[in-house]
Structure formats: structure tokens, C-alpha cells
Amino acid sequence: TMFWDAPTELMEGKQQDDNMAVETSSDERRHHHELPLRLLHNRELYVVNDVLGKTMGPPDIDHIREQSEPQMKKAESLLSAKENSSNSIGRRMDRGSRGSMTSDNKKHVGFAPTPPPFHPKGPMVNKQPVHLNSTDGLVVVSAFLPVVLTRSDDGQWSADWDYEMLLSMQTHLRVTRVGIVKWRGWHGNQGAGGSPEGGVPLEERDLVEACLVPFNCVPVWVEPKLFGEMYNGFCKGVLWPVLHNVTSVYADDEEVMESKGGTPNAMSDQQFSEYSMDDVEQGPIHGDGGKEAELWSSYTAVNRRFADTVVQCFNEGDLVWIHGFHLLILPSYLTRRIPMAKIGMFLHTPFPSSEIFRTIWCREDILRGMLNADQVGFHLYEYARHFLTCCRRLLGMNYGMIPDSAGGHTLAIDSNGRHVAVTSIHAGIEPPVLNQILMHTVTLEKANSIRHQFSGKVIFCAIDRLESLKGIPLKLLGLERFLRRCKEWVGKIVLVQVGISAYERGDDYVKTKKEVNELVTRVNEMWPGTVHFQECAESEMRLQQRMALLRAADVALVTPIRDGLNLVPLEFTIAHQDALTELGKKDGRKRGLCILSEFSSCTRVMRGALHVNPWKVSEIATAFHSALVISEDERMRRISTALEFVTRVTTQRWALAVMLDLKGVHKNLNPLQNAGAGLGLGYRRLGMDTDFIPLDTSTVIKGYKDARARLILVDYGGTIVVNDNLDSLMRFQMVQQTRTPSLPAPEMVETLTKLCEDKRNTVFVVSGKERHSITKTLGHIPNLGLAAEHGMFISWPTKKSLSKRRWETLVTEGDRSWRPLAISIMDVYQSRTHGSYIEETEMKVLWQYRDADPEFGYLQAKELEDHLANVLRNYAVDILHTGMEEGGYVEVRPKGVNKGVLAMHVIRNFTNLSTKARLDFALAIGDDHCDEPMLSVMRQIGRRVRAARLAKRGEDPLPDLPSTITMVDVSSVDDYVAQNLRCYTCTVGKKPSAAASYLHEVAEVQELLDSLVKMSTRDQKYYSSVDLFQAGQNQYPTSPTPISPTWQVNTSTSLTNMSGPMVKSRSLADMVDLDGPANKLTSRWLQISSMDETVDEEEDENFF
């Protein structure tokens, strides 16, 4: 178990707690609580251990789900299933909720009966319970090490744990802590007005490292000036205001003029207040130039230093846990060097809304840095929600409850095929340690001294840093208003306000301190002795001094206007937990209540506190009054409610829960499936399916060379021509026909022409464009098949170049009266959704919302989808809705049309296109989600043939296809493919896809097709063994230059007596007499040597 490494005098009470725990019966320790949940599907059960805190074992939550057999779908539904599952991931949760209802759609009130436990027979992927044991390693990375250094006069260094930090606790794990050592001058402010020292001296760093070895702490050595620029400059000056939802749009006039080299204009305080009253943090506007660029450079440099140290400390299998906003881009550096590590990040500050976060110039780099971790944690879901929204709005990523391999669901972001888990678990405190501190003689004496100093008064206490975000002036204004209206309490209450110096806040600290002193003076002038204000350094208000003040106080005030983790309310609750006892009730004090701002993170868990809006001064005044006149029963209930969370969710349980989630994250260690892409801070990890590798061009060429009947399917935009849809403006201009679309390069047109000249090739260009557009571009190429509008229109290959091609439809063209209905409905949504527009083609209608607000656009698209489904339910149409990452549109098209159906239709008609009966080579290339059905179908066809071939040989079956591929029934093409079919699927761009391989760009597609052309048009005077075998059957491959009759030499004729000049050297095939005995010998030898390459036609027919 996890324990706190407390001093000797603090461990005595903890030993008593451990002894009490040992007395717990073994039956209770083994007890499991079976909790049926109403929203689960049938045959689902959650088995939860230690959820009520009654057992000594580690928390264990197992989700058991019945495994259902995969069912084949029709190819016509492939695109619909693909796109519906790939738009907002959150829809999956909606479908799960709807699926749990009964068939009559009636709501039933009450609890569902407990489902019986289900243990399926046969192999099943079950969720293995995740536990942390002593063999697990953990690297904890934070800006500062949780230790306090001491240096004696003779130069000896010693260290002790800093119990102020959450990370100072000791565990049974193998923990290595990495961070900066806090020593005089660590902030770089050295010299006059600063520290007399400049951090740990270089010659004594070895001594410091030696004294930190027993603590398993490894320091990161950074020059104090560099670290000061990073910490005080960028972290506190740039990130801190933004993370707390503060932007400095209006700068102080003096700062602006000084930055321009001029003199400030005179401006009265009243006038300044009128112009900047909505600003909390005053300062220059941040940007990516000048001083801000230097601070960003320091931030990245320090993160690289941390990465170097972490890599040195990392052992394979260790978990890496990063803390704080100081190291947001550290995962980008770590995942590049140790991709096998499971990296978690936890932010102890709030996270701003997207409208605030987008004001920082390095927003994408920061978000990508965080997303390179495997888990991102926050104290509240509110902060996690803002982070998710930023990822969606700024990076176009989807998020939601994603099903895991065990049947459960995890809140995660889909980041380039990877799932980054997002957790929200609020931290706690350690009651045993605080109880020991409260029993110290020094703590009791200090608390009694404070009580004696303010004898006869109700003591309100507050401990805040002197900065604007803590809301100290608002607190004093609330007190002033309360005393003005409730004069009977004058002289009966006192506010003890402790202000901790915040020098790192710069001008904000100076202004806040000045304003607080003015308000304190004003209140004390009206009611002397009402406010006792004291400023002190952070080192003077440590845990022991803080607990003494909280113990002496009756009511605590925590009223920040924006705050992250604040443990003062939790510590105050522990300090007054005895108020619930009989002895505590007899002291006559109305103590134990906390007035808490609703903008603090702990307000969600401290439900017993009096919650206030600090911006509303009247609410603070009302809270003062409520705390004084509250009834005894309500006070007891509030204290009991607050104490329930504090004693249940401790620091140990918080850390254990986060670590269990991090260890349970699935991370693929296969470098082919967990690949990296990008340069610099744009580096990101890509999650690929099994066997997703770069296309092996040599393998494709070999399969192409050996084939007799080939099918090549290539997409248009993004595959043989640069994609026009990458830019939203270009897409809109093309829809409005104000921009000329990109055309294939002349080299690509020539390559396609030469491929079509080979009689063994059947080439199709499958495009989403209209048929008149694709005809104008590629219609002049003989023997080239064309498919327009994702396969709705087909133009079969013709030997002659026709000015007007013949087209036929993939499905029967029926009633088209649905088009005006769909357009009229879409027009309504277009008028009320800014940035949306309607795109019409010959056979489909689209409502594009890629330029609209992402959230509002998706909501409108979902409503439009439901509206269209209701109105067009009697028409033979498909309604498709894609997410923002796939273009963001709602499309209505004829039912059963997609590129996968087209591919199967072409194969079924292959005998009419090729001289051979069966297809033995197939190549499919695409680039976006519209091509996924084609790639999926072709990959499954090739897999089906290969699986049948292995089964016939008695070999082991193939591994399962990735779960991201929707299985469809492709058995209808069995009679049209050969046993030795070689099928290759490829996507353009390294990204998650149904294809088995990828090429990087259009230029590589050009190179691949050129290689195939060279194989088709090579000099036929040199023949392969396959060519010789075909020659033995009087089936010479087509040659661009016919073989001269003088080249056929009779073997009985002497070379010296040959008639005709010898112009070229002869190959073996040139000297073969097709009617002589030598031909029979050669053919027999070729049959033996090429046995694996040939397939008997009768054997082919009975193959499946």
C-alpha cells in the first residue's frame, strides 16, 4: 500500500491506524460489491472492489460484457457505417443509450433487475485487473523536486521531504523524481534587490546529487537565468493568466509608452479604471515576436533539459507522470525518444475556454505537446471539457466515450488514430499526517495564542497569495458591506488575512498589495481592529503554521476569482473534524464552516461549504451573515458532508486512481503501428492498424509482372492530382465555380495512357467529381474506365477515344423527387448557420458546414440529419453525416452507392473487360474517407483469397483484420478472382486507413505507376520465364515492336549458314522453334519451374 513518509513523531499515530486496519476481518477484505447500473446493456455487470473504502486491497473495477459474434454487412451499407462512426465520437455514447431501451421505446422508472454474471465459453478478450506492485517503476516529473535542501557552514548538504507538495509521499513503487532543486537564486534574480546566490554552485552539484540519492531524486541542472525566464517570464507572465481565463487586451498606458520608447501620458486612476475595469491582469499584448519569442525559446529549452534527464532515468516498462503547466510540451520530446513509455500528464491549474486559449500564439504547439501524452488529467471535468473543446476547435479532433477492448468506455480524444485518455480526478489531502500536526504541542500553543489574541470574537481567516486572481479586494468589500448593514456585529468579528508575497507576479503583485493595504486601512478606520492583515513569505506559512491558524479560526474564506488546486478548505475541514463530537459541541463555537468561491476547483467536491460568487459583493456579505447565524443542525450537516470527501478521497487514493488509469492505457509498441510524423514541436504519434506499412514497390511490381489479368483502381483528387479540398476557401470557390480545379500533370496523363495500352490491364479512375468534369480531363484516354460521383456513373473502357463517352448508372435511377425536398430543408439550415452552404451535383446534394462554428455546426448537422431521415424515409436514398475532420457535411445520395460497391461491380464484370477469365492482380489507391469503402472491400477480397489458399494447404489462418475495418460480404466475386490473386491496397498519406499500406504523396503514386509502365513496355527481346512459358503455349505477350520472321531460327540450321544479316544478339526465345522438339523440352522445364505461378482452371472453379 501507499504511505506518507512522515517524521518519526508523526508516524506514531499512523501506526495506530495501521494496527486498527489489521484487525479488519479477512472476509471483509475479500468482499466485493456488485452494483447493477440502469444504463448498462443486457448481460453487463460492474464488479467493484474497495469502492466504499472498506477493504484493504487496491481499488479494482472489472467490466464484464458478453461478446457477440461479428456479423457481415452488405457492401451498400459500408460507407454509411464508416461515416456515421467516424463523425463525432460522442455519438457512440448516444447510440449506446438508445440501444439500452426496450423495443417499445417506453421509459421504465426504477432499478433494473440484477443481471446474472456472464462467463462466455471459448477465447474472449477480458479486461485484466490492473494493479501496481513493487516491480512497477514510476518517473515523476515536476518543475521542482519535493525536497528541502539545507547547507551547513562547512559545506555539507542535507535534504528532507517537502510535505507541502503532493508528490512528496512515498510508495511501494520504484519511484524516481525529476525536477529543479530550489536553492537561493534558483529564479535567476541575483544581485541588488535579489538573491545573494545564483543557485547551487557548479562545484557543489555533485554533493547535492549525492545527498538526493536516498530520496530517489534526480535534479535537472538549468542555468538560473534561463530557468527564471522560463518560470517567471513565460509560465507566470504568459501561461498563468491565459490558463486562468485572463487576457490582457488593454495594457497599462505607462507600459505601452515605455515599450515604445516614449513617455507615458497622464491618466487619472478613475479614467484608467473606466477603460480597463473588465481586465484583471494588466500587461502588454502577447505575441510571437520580441521578448515573448525569447521567453518561448527559454520554455522549450528547459523542457528539452527535462527530457534529457528523464530519458537517462527511464527504464523500459516505467510509467512517466508529468505535473504542472511548466512542462506542457515535454511529452513531444519524450515520445520521440522513448516511444514505448506510457506518459501521463496532470494539470493542477484550470484550463481556459477555447476563446481565451486561442489568443496565445503557441496554442497548437502546446496542445500537440499535451496530446503526445497517453493520458491527460485534470482536477475537474470543467477543465477537461475546456481542453476537449480546444482540441476540437483548434485542431479539428473528435472526442467522446470510446469503447475499449474490454467492453467499457473511456473519455478520450482521437488524435491521428491514437486515443488519448482524459481523466478528471480531484486530489485530496492526507488526514493522518494533518492529525499528527494538529496534536503537536507547537501547533496547539500557536492556535491557543491566536484565540487568546482575539478573545471573544468570531475569527474569519484567509490565506491567499497577493495577486489579482485570489480576489482579496472583493473579500474586503464584502466584509465592508456586511458591517455597514449589520452593525450589531461590529466589534464581534475579526478577519485574519494572511498575504503570501508573490514576487513572481511582478506589477500585479505590487498593485494588488497596494489595493489591499488601502482597503484594510479604510475598513479599520471605520471599525478599528476588524481586519488583521499580515504579509509573509511562503516559507513562513508552511503546513504547521497554516494548520495552527486554521485550527484557531471559526470560519475560513477562500474567494478566488479563478483558481486551480487549493487545499486550504480541505485542511480547514480536517482541523475542525472534532466539531461533530460531543466534546466539540460543548465549546460553544460556531466553527467548521468554509465560505468558498464557486470558481475554485474544490467547490465541486466541498458540497458542505457556503458557495459564493466573488464578483457579487452582496453574496459575500450574505455569506458572512449566514456563517454567523446558521442553525446548529445545518452546521453539523454541512461539516459532515464536507468531511465525507476529505476523509474518503485522500492523496494516496487520488494518485493510485491516476496511476491505475495510466497503467491501463493500451499502447501499441509496434513501431509500424505507433509511428511518428512531423518536425519540431509539430511532431506527433500516429496510431496505425496492424501491418500498416509503406507500400513495397518491388513486391507490387513483381506481382504485376507475373499477372495475366490486372485491375488498377485509383482515386482522382489527392491521388493522381493534388487535392483541392484541403483549403476551405478553395472548396467554396470550386462549388461556386469561381476557381478552376487542379488538373493532372501531363506526366500523369501519359502514364495512364501507357498503362491502358497494355491489354492485360484494366484501369479505372474512380472520382467523386461529376461526369462532365472527369470526362473533360481524362475522357480522351483510350481503354481507360471512369467512375464519377463515387461510382454512381460508370464509363467502361473503350478501345477508341470518343469525344462523348457512354455512361451507365451503378444503381437503377428511380424517383428523383427527393432532391427539391432535400434542398428546401437544407436551405433552412443554411440560412441559420453562418458559414454553411449547399453543394449540388447531378446525383447528390450536400450541406457543407466546414466553415461554420464546430460545435454549432455539428448540432445543426445532427438536427438536419434527423430532419432529412424523417422526411425522406420513403425514398431510396442514403443520408450520410461526416465529422469535421472528414470535411463536415451532410449528404443525400441514391441508396447503395459507394466506391466499395463499384469495385465489386467492376470485378463481377471483369470477364467482359479482360482477355482472361479471372482476376489475378489488383491495385487500389485512394487518399481520403470517401475511398475507404473501396480500400476496405479490396483488402477483404484479397484476404479472402489468401485465407482460402492457406486453408487448402493446411497452414495457420491469418490474424484478424483491425477492428476499425467494417466487415462486408464479398463472396459474390469468388467466381471472378483467381486462386493466386495478389491484391494491394494503398492510401496516400501516413494516416489511419483501411488500406494495408501507404505512400506519402502524389509524387510517389506517379513513381509507382511509372514503374508499372516500364514493366509493361520493356524491351521484349529479353523475356522472363513466364514469357517463355507463354511462348510455349503460342501466347506471346504483346510487344510494341513485332518480332521479325528472320529472328525465328531453326535449330537444325548452322549459325554460319543462316540467311540474312545478324543485326541483334538473340535471346533464348528468339532461337526457339515453336514446332520443334526443343520447344517441348523448354515448355516442360518451364512447367516444372513455374508450377507455383500457374493455376489450373478447373481447380480455380472449385477453389471457394
The residues that bridge with 26 in the sheet, in sequence order, are none
* CA distance linking residue 258 with residue 635, whole number of Å: 54
User: Which pLDDT score, from 0 to 100, does residue 678 have?
Assistant: 59
From the list 1035, 131, 1044, the residue with the least C-alpha distance to 659 is: 131
Consecutive sets of 10 residues in the chain, 1104 residues long: mean pLDDT of each?
37 43 40 37 38 37 40 62 44 40 37 36 48 82 90 85 73 84 74 63 89 91 90 88 76 42 40 37 51 88 94 90 94 89 93 90 91 92 92 85 67 83 89 88 92 92 92 94 93 94 84 94 94 90 91 94 90 92 84 92 89 94 94 92 89 87 74 56 59 80 88 90 66 63 85 89 90 86 90 85 77 83 92 88 88 85 91 89 76 89 90 75 89 90 89 83 80 88 88 83 89 74 53 43 36 35 37 40 39 42 50
* CA distance linking residue 921 with residue 980, whole number of Å: 8
Q: Are strands 418-424 and 409-415 parallel, antiparallel or unpaired?
A: antiparallel
From the list 638, 646, 580, the residue with the least C-alpha distance to 608 is: 638
Set of cell numbers at residue 722: 493534388
Set of cell numbers at residue 513: 498589495
* Residue 837, phi-psi category: left (phi > 0), alpha (psi -120 to 50), beta (remainder): beta
* CA distance linking residue 585 with residue 867, whole number of Å: 63
* CA distance linking residue 429 with residue 545, whole number of Å: 17
Contact by Cβ (8 Å): 169, 14: no
Work out the angle at residue 627's Cα, subtended by the Cα atoms of residues 623 and 630, and round it to the nearest 5 degrees. Answer: 120
AA identity, residue 522: R
User: Which pLDDT score, from 0 to 100, does residue 679 have?
Assistant: 55
* All residues at 6 or more sequence positions from 583 whose CB lies less than 8 Å from its CB, including other chains: none
Neighbours of 522 (CB within 10 A): 13
* CA distance linking residue 652 with residue 3, whole number of Å: 7
* CA distance linking residue 509 with residue 507, whole number of Å: 5
DSSP state of 172: S
Set of cell numbers at residue 380: 475537474
Contact by Cβ (8 Å): 35, 64: no
Contacts of 533-537 with CB under 8 Å at 24 or more apart are 533/497, 533/499, 534/496, 534/497, 534/498, 534/499, 535/466, 535/498, 535/499, 535/500, 535/501, 536/498, 536/499, 536/500, 536/501, 537/500, 537/501
Q: Which helix (H) or strand (E) holds 923?
A: strand 919-926
* All residues at 6 or more sequence positions from 362 whose CB lies less than 8 Å from its CB, including other chains: 288, 296
Work out the angle at residue 706's Cα, subtended by the Cα atoms of residues 705 and 708, and round it to the nearest 5 degrees. Answer: 100
* CA distance linking residue 854 with residue 673, whole number of Å: 30
Q: In this structure, what is the dihedral angle of CA atoms 477, 482, 488, 489, given to the nearest 10 degrees?
A: -60
Contact by Cβ (8 Å): 466, 502: yes
* All residues at 6 or more sequence positions from 877 whose CB lies less than 8 Å from its CB, including other chains: 818, 822, 892, 893, 894, 895
- HEC sequence for 605-625: CCCCCEEECCCCHHHHHHHHH
Q: Which position has the grid cell 525518444?
A: 337
Please tell me the total number of residues recorded for the chain in this structure.
1104
What does residue 110 show for φ and ψ, rounded to 5 degrees?
115, 180
User: Which pLDDT score, from 0 to 100, does residue 461 have?
Assistant: 95
AA identity, residue 24: T
Q: Which helix (H) or strand (E) holds 921?
A: strand 919-926
Contact by Cβ (8 Å): 604, 557: no
* All residues at 6 or more sequence positions from 808 whose CB lies less than 8 Å from its CB, including other chains: 793, 794, 795, 796
Contact by Cβ (8 Å): 979, 1100: yes
User: Which pLDDT score, from 0 to 100, does residue 258 have?
Assistant: 42
DSSP state of 530: S
* CA distance linking residue 838 with residue 840, whole number of Å: 7
* All residues at 6 or more sequence positions from 289 whose CB lies less than 8 Å from its CB, including other chains: none
User: Which pLDDT score, from 0 to 100, does residue 493 have?
Assistant: 94
Three-class DSSP category at 252: coil
* CA distance linking residue 326 with residue 239, whole number of Å: 9
The answer to whether the Cα torsion of 919, 920, 926, 929 is positive or negative is: positive
* CA distance linking residue 497 with residue 473, whole number of Å: 11
AA identity, residue 297: S
DSSP state of 250: S
Neighbours of 498 (CB within 10 A): 20
Contact by Cβ (8 Å): 82, 23: no
Q: Which position has the grid cell 507600459?
A: 255
User: Which pLDDT score, from 0 to 100, does residue 560 have?
Assistant: 93
Instruction: Count Cβ neighbours within 10 Å for each residue of 379-389 and write b for 16 or more, e otherwise.
Output: bbbebbbbbbb
Q: How far out from the chain centre does Cα 26 lie?
A: 42
For 39, 236, 401, 854, the CA distances from 95, given in Å and listed in that order, are 12, 44, 11, 21
User: Which pLDDT score, from 0 to 100, does residue 248 have?
Assistant: 61
Q: How buried is 138 (Cβ within 10 angstroms: 0-12 exposed, 13-18 middle, 19+ buried)?
A: buried
Three-class DSSP category at 508: helix
User: Which pLDDT score, from 0 to 100, does residue 962 have?
Assistant: 75
pTM of the model: 0.67
* CA distance linking residue 276 with residue 278, whole number of Å: 5
Q: Which helix (H) or strand (E) holds 1098?
A: helix 1097-1101
DSSP state of 235: I
The residues that bridge with 494 in the sheet, in sequence order, are 459
DSSP secondary structure of 684-713: EEEE--TT-EE--HHHHHHHHHH-SSEEEE
Work out the angle at residue 704's Cα, subtended by the Cα atoms of residues 702 and 710, and round it to the nearest 5 degrees. Answer: 160
Contact by Cβ (8 Å): 413, 398: yes
Contact by Cβ (8 Å): 1021, 1044: no
